[in-house]
Amino acid sequence: MGEKRFETEVIHSGYKSDEFRGSLAPPLFQTSTFTFDSAEQGERRFAGEEEGFIYSRLGNPTVAMLEERMATIEKGEKALAFASGMAAVSAILVALTRTGDHILCSQGVYGCTFGLLQLMKEKYEINHDFSMMSTREEVLAAITPETRVIYIETPINPTMRLVDLEMVADVAREKGIPVVVDNTFSSPYLQNPLELGCDFVIHSATKYICGHGDVIAGLAVGPKEIMSKIAMTTQKDIGGVISPFDAWLLLRGLKTLPVRMDRHCDNAEKLAEYLSGHPAVEEVIFPGDPKHPDYAIAKKQMRKPGGLISFKIKGGQKEAQAFINKLKLIKIAVSLGDAETLIQHPATMTHAVVPKEAREKMGIKDNMLRLSVGLEAWQDIRDDLEAAFEAVRKESTMESGSI
């Protein structure tokens, strides 16, 4: 099969039904190990002289199908699947660095990635810095002679600021530094960093790729040679591999990714507009808003502005918490990209591990909320938000004694 369009590849790539007795759905190889015909065959497999499976930590057919499909849709050479997004992040960062090296990060990263960077610094003296990366000059100024990795999230969780991937990749190429992009917020449907010149892409597949809130998993895509080495070292020996069943669920989830993303994005656009006009809202941060500081970058590198909205409520932590407590349809939960609309309070949840000072520097204020827009009818999501705003307003007017 030659190159097909994205919507076709998510359904067909990586799987040939005629190789599996015509089974339309990819089979689930729920097995820990694989038997050899003979001692000599075992010897050849271990020596790498014969293709074939050995043990599911080293490779599994269902997992291999997922990896092939993922490499195709992220337009990379080779993908590896992991037990979690963090297993993917840590495998790539550990593989690309050694003691004394420096990692340059976007101004804001996932809370546990922040924790991992801290751990690498304390235990292995691998340092890091954060940069807005708004201009070439800013990126160049932040690179040190020890910089071995540029690590970017865009859109950044949860501040929704963007980084111009083509520009950073261009600077990094001149310096010979690989660029790693956590593409979780966009999914491969909205943004393909490898096509923009970056070197590695990471996903928390837990989010949009799964899409149904029932799997924890990670994926990484990159150059064949390095990824094969990672498979046989960091992944095999540290061992954060995906289970075959979770890989099977991801193969299933991927089939509907474009359809789901279109709805997530359409709903988000309508809800961002609703929130922008609300008197109880101080600020809405959505890359599809022409007033967003990085709107031009969103237009340039994303197919659509995504399904996540951050917004600041008038007041502080107390007001933010009171508001989400009044929601009924929208669930209070971390994670994102599910069919259900989810809301969370980054300062006390996903980014509670980041010290307040660093948090504020990243732009995460106590009155900020992050909404992962689901697949429900957008009017029902809006009505739930409106009812919660109204309930909070009523309570506060009662408290102030004006009724």
Ligand X SMILES: *Cc1c(COP(=O)(O)O)cnc(C)c1O
Q: Which residues does the annotation mark as catalytic?
A: 57, 110, 182, 207
Which stretch, 34-42, 79-87, 252-260, 352-360, contacts ligand X (CB under 6 A)? 79-87
Cβ neighbors of 293 (< 8 A, separation 6 or more) are 161
**Least Å from the CB of residue 278 to ligand X:** 26
Residue with smaller CB distance to ligand X, 108 or 280: 108
Check binding of 289 to ligand X (CB under 6 A).
no
Cβ proximity to ligand X: between 97 and 157 the closer is: 157
218 binding ligand X? (CB under 6 A): yes
DSSP H/E element including 64: helix 61-73
Q: Which stretch binds ligand X (CB under 6 A): 106-114, 135-143, 166-174, 265-273?
A: 106-114
Helix (H) or strand (E) holding 340: none
Q: Does 111 bind ligand X (CB under 6 A)?
A: no
Q: How far apart are CA 170 and CA 201, in angstroms?
A: 16
Q: Which is nearer to ligand X, 191 or 206 (CB)?
A: 206
- Residue 277: which of 303, 249, 311 has the closest Cα? 311
CB nearer to ligand X: give 116 or 272: 116
The residue among 336, 293, 299, 105 whose CA lies nearest residue 204 is 336
User: Which among 262, 274, 249 has a CA at the least distance from the CA of 371?
Assistant: 274
DSSP codes of every residue in 172-205: HHHHT--EEEE-TTTHHHH--GGGGT-SEEEEET
Query: Contact letters (x/-) for ligand X, 120-139, by CB under 6 A?
Result: --------------------
- Interface residue with ligand X, options 9, 74, 101, 153 (CB under 6 A): 153
Task: Give the nearest distance from C-beta 209 to ligand X in angstroms.
Answer: 10
| Cβ nearer to ligand X, comparing 184 with 267 | 184
Can you tell me whether residue 161 is helix, strand or coil?
Answer: coil
Given candidates 15, 29, 53, 110, which one binds ligand X under the rule CB under 6 A?
A: 110
C-alpha 129/C-alpha 361 separation (Å) is 13
Binding-site size for ligand X (CB under 6 A) equals: 16
Question: Hey, how many other C-beta atoms are within 10 angstroms of the C-beta on 27?
Answer: 16
Distance CA 377, CA 380 (A): 6
CB of 110 to ligand X, least distance (A): 4
| CB of residue 147 to ligand X, shortest distance in Å | 21
Q: Work out how close the CB of 360 gets to ligand X at its nearest, in angstroms, rounded to a whole number.
A: 20
Minimum CB separation from ligand X for residue 114, in Å?
10
Interface positions, 7-46, toward ligand X (CB under 6 A): none
The torsion of the CA quartet 114, 120, 126, 127, rounded to 10 degrees, works out to 30
Min CB(259)–ligand X separation in Å: 21
Residue 397, class by beta-carbon neighbours within 10 Å (0-12 exposed, 13-18 middle, 19+ buried)? exposed
157-216: contacts with ligand X (CB under 6 A): 157, 182, 184-185, 204, 206-207, 216
CA-to-CA distance for 70 and 209, rounded, in angstroms?
Answer: 10
Among 78-86, 131-139, 165-173, 292-300, the segment contacting ligand X (CB under 6 A)? 78-86
By the 8 A CB rule, do 220 and 198 touch? no
Residues near ligand X, by CB under 6 A:
84-86, 110, 112-113, 153, 157, 182, 184-185, 204, 206-207, 216, 218
